[in-house]
Amino acid sequence: MRIFLDTANIDQIREGARLGVVTGVTTNPTLVSKEGLKDYRAVVKEICSIIPGPVSAEVVVEGVPEMLAQAREIATWAPNVVVKIPSTADGLEVISTLAKEDIKVNMTLCFSVNQALLGALAGTTYVSPFVGRLDDVGHDGMQLVKEIVDVFRYYQLKTEVLAASIRHPLHCVAAAKAGAHIATVPFNVLMQMMRHPLTDVGIARFLSDWRRVQQQGGK
């Protein structure tokens, strides 16, 4: 399972890039607006220059012609940009057209296997089931990830399953076990994935033992 960062925060993206494990970024209008940023194009271009892998930027209009025009515009911003299109009937029409033009799409706000299947048939590159938001309303978000992975495997569909709306490290473990191709995680979750108190205790112990021997004149 690959790891993308789910943020529009440039500092977090730079820090994530330094770790060498982040191979993509996903943004959405909420994440971009949280940064108080005005120039959407400039922000997406900057993210695309930091992370060479896929960077998802979402359309912020409704209607087929409007989404198509904006998606085509977003696709010109950088070679690694991926256009996020919502899981609706209009979205499906847009995805089918974009796929024929070789524009990469991340079908977002996916909450059912049927949406995912139709997105894959339309030619979306990624489909993003929103795990946390399903959990929020009392459904098992990860079950949806599993079911989509199974269906895509069964029919050998090329669309990748991008587990989104990840809220904590256990979601990452479950997404990996479910066979998600990618999990897109907030920066704090990425840090939590690596942290373990026993690692910290172990380092402190090793270093103090080492220093004690040094003080005693050992080598």
Residues that are catalytic: 84
For ligand G3P, the closer CB: 123 or 141: 141
Rounded to whole angstroms, the maximal C-alpha distance in the chain is: 76
Taking the least distance from each CB to ligand G3P, the nearer of 6 and 160 is: 6
Mark 16-35 with x for binding to ligand G3P (rule: CB under 6 A) and - for no binding. Answer: ----------x-x-------
Burial label for 203, CB within 10 Å (0-12, 13-18, 19+), is exposed
Q: Does 87 bind ligand G3P (CB under 6 A)?
A: no
Give the closest residue to 161 by CA, choosing from 137, 131, 132, 135.
131
Q: How far apart are CB 66 and ligand G3P at their closest, in Å?
A: 21
- What radius of gyration do the chain's Cα atoms show? 20
- By beta-carbon proximity to ligand G3P, the closer residue of 137 and 198 is 137
Measured in whole angstroms, how far is the alpha carbon of residue 191 from the centre of its chain?
15
What is the Cα–Cα distance from 131 to 164, expressed in whole angstroms?
Answer: 6
Q: Which of 3, 4, 5, 6 touches ligand G3P (CB under 6 A)?
A: 6
Q: Which of residues 125-144 bind ligand G3P (CB under 6 A)?
A: 130, 132-133
Contact indicator for 8, 30 with CB cutoff of 8 Å: no
Residue of the chain from 81, 83, 165, 180 that contacts ligand G3P (CB under 6 A) = 165
Query: What does the per-residue mask of binding to ligand G3P show for 170-209, with x meaning CB under 6 A?
Result: --------------x-------------------------
Spatial separation of the C-alpha atoms in residues 57 and 81, rounded to whole Å:
7
Cα 32 to Cα 43: distance, rounded to the nearest angstrom: 8
Q: Enumerate binding residues for ligand G3P (CB under 6 A).
A: 6, 26, 28, 130, 132-133, 164-165, 167, 184
